[in-house]
Amino acid sequence: MQRASIRLVASICASVAGATLAQAKDIDGQVFIVTRGAQAIKLPLVQVAAFRKTEMEAHIREVDTRLSADRAKADAVVKETIEALQRAKRAGAGSEHWVEDDMKAHGPIKDINDAMRRGSAVGKRQGEAQKRISSAEARLREAGTRREFVYSAARYLTDLPVPLATAKTDADGHFKLTVADEEVLALVATSSRTVFDHVEKYSWVVRLAPHDTTVTLSNDNLTSSRSADSLLATTD
């Protein structure tokens, strides 16, 4: 009787293990970027992680809620700096006519000293106008950079849920993940590439249906691509 019970338990365990294995599947993928010159750049050593889609969506909503105040402030600052730049440009508009305006206001130039005085005054006015424009442009660049940061993918890719599986791409950008067949997944990956003195950053949060067994992470489904396949829309 005891031996029969042991055999029954062993049989059940084997059946469960077999069912679990039968429900697992491999996902084959590749990570690469196509340049503007139509060159495909394979990205090695990229960590790719699979998450439950529902958990990733909940994480994205939590980040959106947490950053809502910072984003509203960043949007307001950008709007204010744009308006300041527009005012500065309006104030400096027509500066090439300021000499004519001076002539109309003060009459003909009397002598060389008068000409130098008037020229200096107009030049100072033009310089101050250009300085205000340059200052407003610099503030707008700074405000734009801060706004990009609070809307960037980087804010979503920390404190992530526990992944179901992870893999790292090989020299050709290929990877393989083994996951449960019934799961609706989100694949998450990040990478970067230095082009001259500029660093290009790439982020993916791509939905994967249960029947999908292959996936490509490339330009078409970056978080910045506004792709329907991406769970996340960001500035980079």
Three-class HEC string of the chain: CHHHHHHHHHHHHHHHHHHHHHHEEEEEEEEEEECCCCCEEECCCCEEEEEEHHHHHHHHHHHHHHHHHHHHHHHHHHHHHHHHHHHHHHHHCCHHHHHHHHHHHHCCCCCHHHHHHHHHHHHHHHHHHHHHHHHHHHHHHHHHHHHHHHCCHHHCCCCCCCCCEEEECCCCCEEEEEEECCCCEEEEEEEEEEECCEEEEEEEEEEECCCCCEEEECHHHCCCCCCCCECCCCCC
pLDDT recorded at residue 91:
78
pLDDT in tens, 205-223: 999 988 899 999 999 999 9
Among 3-7, 61-65, 158-162, name the one with the lowest average pLDDT.
3-7
Residue predicted with more confidence, 118 or 213: 213
Over residues 187-212, the mean pLDDT reads: 92
Model confidence band, residue 192 (pLDDT cutoffs 50, 70, 90)? very high
pLDDT in tens, 59-81: 999 999 999 999 999 999 999 99
Q: Which CATH number fits domain 21-65+156-221: 1.10.357.10, 3.60.15.10, 3.40.50.880, 2.60.40.10?
A: 2.60.40.10
- Ranges of each domain in the chain: 21-65+156-221, 66-153
pLDDT recorded at residue 111:
63
